[in-house]
Amino acid sequence: MFLTNQDVIELTAWRRKLHAMPEVSGEEVATAAEVQGFLADTKPDRIVTGLGGTGVAVVYDSGLAGPTVLFRAELDALPIEEVGTPDYRSKIPGKGHMCGHDGHMTMLAALGRQFGREKPKHGRVILMFQPAEETGAGAAAVIADEKFQGLIPDYSFSLHNMPGLPLGRVWLKQGIVNCASRGLKVVLTGRTAHASMPETGISPVPAVAALMPALTALSEGSIETGDMVLATVTHASVGEPAFGIAPGRAEVWVTLRTMTDGQMEALMARAETLVREIAAADGLEYAMDYHDIFGQCENDAQATEMLRAAMEAEGVPHDAGETMRGSEDFGRFATVSKSAMFFLGAGENMPNLHNPNYDFPDDLIPIGTKIFMRVARDILG
């Protein structure tokens, strides 16, 4: 059983409705409610809400013993002003679905329609609409939620649309598919002074000037050799915007990125040592904390092979692809299940993800859906 033409029309309209009502990480209340309402007619056996914040799990249960298969999509949009001009463009100023999560949700809704018509032969399917992927907080919060204990899957699958790849072509590989990353926020505190007597204060300016190139110089290795270490300064600020005050406070933000979680631990230690040494040399106090924490995302061999078999059965062209520098919090599901994700080509001449004019291609809805559906039927019947 697959999607009818009417299904595709209605699902496309729903995707565009979601596109027009974006909510950023941790604020996906209306989106979660929309998911529940749209799938209510499919008569799922259970809906669990409030997972990890706003997450929604929609369960289709055969009533017979068997594996639990989870499919994950993301609820959140981005704090980006949309500049594209579709009729369904964002109605929320400063926010937009510039990563295609509206399309990912629609594919899961398409699965819901099909499992509402014919449940799995055994085991159960869970459609997991996860919050806060963009900040790296959502998957961890869902898994830590006590309500998730009754939903722990045997297999977890996900996808991400990928501009630059031919439309409908897939990248799928075993092993690490997305890098670990985290944001390090450094605050340096000295003492302000009158701008005419800077020597009476303790300025963080020399430390910032030293710290930014020193952090950047931690970068080495490459994706190709499996030892990439990347430190990217993303923001710096010093003092107040006033001509009469020599600054007493500064911030430096840097994104740390590695292939593996183990490499991340080593990079963090090196970055923290730099901060301590440079701050001490100038008599500054310092504070460090981490944000947007993503672990490595690694595809399990068996789960990857299940996806590959489904693509071959459905005639979907695919290549091994490469490890992405970008991060993805779906890797957290590998701590509780055999998991794998793939990257579905959105077209070679599309704007990149997070560009202000990005719009998910509706033609991908049936392609992603049939891959997921084949995997589910192969496992559960």
Contacts of 71 (CB under 8 A, 6+ apart): 108, 111, 125, 126, 127, 128, 156, 157, 158, 372, 376
200-256 pLDDT, tens digit each: 999 999 999 999 999 999 999 999 898 999 999 999 999 999 999 999 999 999 999
- Per-residue pLDDT band for 311 (boundaries 50, 70, 90) equals very high
Sign of CA dihedral 271, 232, 341, 27: positive
Distant-in-sequence, close-in-space partners of 88: CB < 8 Å, separation ≥ 6 = 16, 17, 19, 20
Whether residue 126 is predicted with pLDDT greater than 60 in this model: the reply is: yes
The CATH architecture of the domain made up of 5-178+296-380 is 3-Layer(aba) Sandwich (3.40)
What is the mean predicted confidence (pLDDT) over 361-368?
98
Length of the chain: 381
Q: What percent of the chain has pLDDT over 90?
A: 98
Q: Using alpha carbons, list the distances in angstroms from residue 282 to 78, 206, 233.
A: 38, 8, 21
| pLDDT at residue 2, rounded to an integer | 80
Residue pair 225/155 in contact (Cβ under 8 Å)? The answer is: no
**Token duo for residue 59:** 């369960």
Strand 175-178 and strand 297-299: pairing? antiparallel
Pair 126, 58: CB distance under 8 Å: yes
Where, residue-wise, is CATH 3.30.70.360 in the chain? 180-294
Distance (Å, whole) CA 101 – CA 359: 10
Looking at per-residue pLDDT, the higher value among 224 and 15 belongs to 15
pLDDT exceeds 70 at position 374: yes
Report residue 366: phi and psi, to 5°: -70, -25
pLDDT at 318 (0 to 100): 97
* Residues 20-71: tens digit of each pLDDT: 999 999 999 999 999 999 999 999 999 999 999 999 999 999 999 999 999 9
Alpha carbon 257 to its chain centroid, in Å, reads: 15
Closest CA to 333 of 160, 153, 177: 153
The answer to whether 36 and 49 are in contact (CB under 8 A) is yes
Residue 94: per-residue pLDDT: 98
CA distance 353 to 376: 28
What torsion do the CA atoms of 15, 16, 18, 23 make, to the nearest 10 degrees?
Answer: 130
Q: Are 109 and 35 in contact (CB under 8 A)?
A: yes
Confidence at residue 358, expressed as pLDDT on a 0 to 100 scale: 97
Q: What percent of the chain has pLDDT over 70?
A: 100
What SS3 state is found at 294?
A: strand
Local confidence band at 1 (pLDDT 50, 70, 90 cut-offs): low
Residue 108 predicted with pLDDT over 80: yes
Q: Name the pLDDT band for 110 (thresholds 50, 70, 90).
A: very high
Please tell me whether residue 187 adopts helix, strand or coil conformation. Answer: strand
Strand partners, 202: 191
Tokens (6 digits) for 333: 């599901």
Tell me if the pTM is above 0.85: yes
Q: Percent helix, strand and coil across the chain, each rounded to 5?
A: 35, 30, 35
* 8 A C-beta contact, residue 142 and residue 52: yes
pLDDT at 37: 97
CATH number of the domain located at residue range(s) 180-294 in this protein = 3.30.70.360
Q: Which two tokens stand for residue 150?
A: 């009754």
Rounded mean pLDDT of the chain?
97
The string of DSSP codes covering 26-71 is T--HHHHHHHHHHHGGG--SEEEEEETTTEEEEEEE-SSS--EEEE
Domain with CATH 3.40.630.10 in the chain: 5-178+296-380
Q: What is the mean pLDDT of residues 351-378?
A: 97
Mean pLDDT, residues 282-288 taken together: 98
Residue 284 scores a pLDDT above 70 = yes
